[in-house]
Amino acid sequence: MNKLRLYVAAASISAVLAAGVCMAAEQPGTEVEKPKAEHPGKEVEKTKAEHPGKPVTAKFVKKSIKEHVKAQSKATGGVFVIHDDKLDKDWKLKLDKIHDPVRMFEKDGKMIYFTCSDFKSTEGKDVIDIDFWMVPKGDKLEVIDTKIHKVNGEPRYTYEGTEIKKIK
């Protein structure tokens, strides 16, 4: 009988813990939010652009980032260069992948589109996670901010809502 009580108690505790884990959300825009999240906003599926024309889709946002990286890389021999203020160095990078989901949120009356992308260093084995923020401009998206989010998996900041919170 005592073993049965022990099993029932363990199962009850497991169920409560599992429910808590299931309710906590890493991404903003879901039903229950943690105070901090890895990325801001809600997932982009299909939304209308600021002006009449093509709808903004995750595919369109990813294409815009690839075009931005390619354009920025033209002047630097085909590598994407970003300055790292924390390490006081310039990273020379190649785009590896753009993470899913692409996200969006409204801030200061503007619709902001957001992607997180992995880049590989051309000078070693480092992996740099870079976040890009974009806004609609005509029938395109314009990158308005770029930040190094992680170096080799170590985050430099997280989010509370749409605000960046530095990790100490």
- DSSP secondary structure string, the chain? -HHHHHHHHHHHHHHHHHHHHHH--SSTTSSS--S-BSS-SEE-SEE--SSSSSPEEHHHHHHHHHHHHHHHHHTTTT-EEEEETTTTEEEEEEEEEEPSPPEEEEETTEEEEEEEEEEEETTSS-EEEEEEEEEEETTEEEEEEEEEEEETTEESEEEETTEEEE--
Average pLDDT, whole number, for the chain?
A: 79
Same structural domain for residues 91 and 120?
A: yes
Give yes or no: residues 112 and 95 share one domain: yes
Q: Is residue 41 domain-shared with residue 119, that is, in the same domain? A: yes
Q: Are residues 158 and 77 in the same domain?
A: yes
pLDDT (tens digit, 9 = 90+) per residue, 102-139? 999 999 899 999 999 999 999 999 999 999 999 999 99
Domain hosting 128: range is 37-166
Asked if 1 and 73 sit in the same domain, the reply is no
Domain identity same for 27 and 43: no
Total domains in the chain come to 2
In this structure, are 13 and 52 located in the same domain? no
In this structure, the answer to whether residues 45 and 13 fall within a common structural domain is no
Co-location of 130 and 100 in the same domain:
yes
For the whole prediction, is pTM greater than 0.85? no
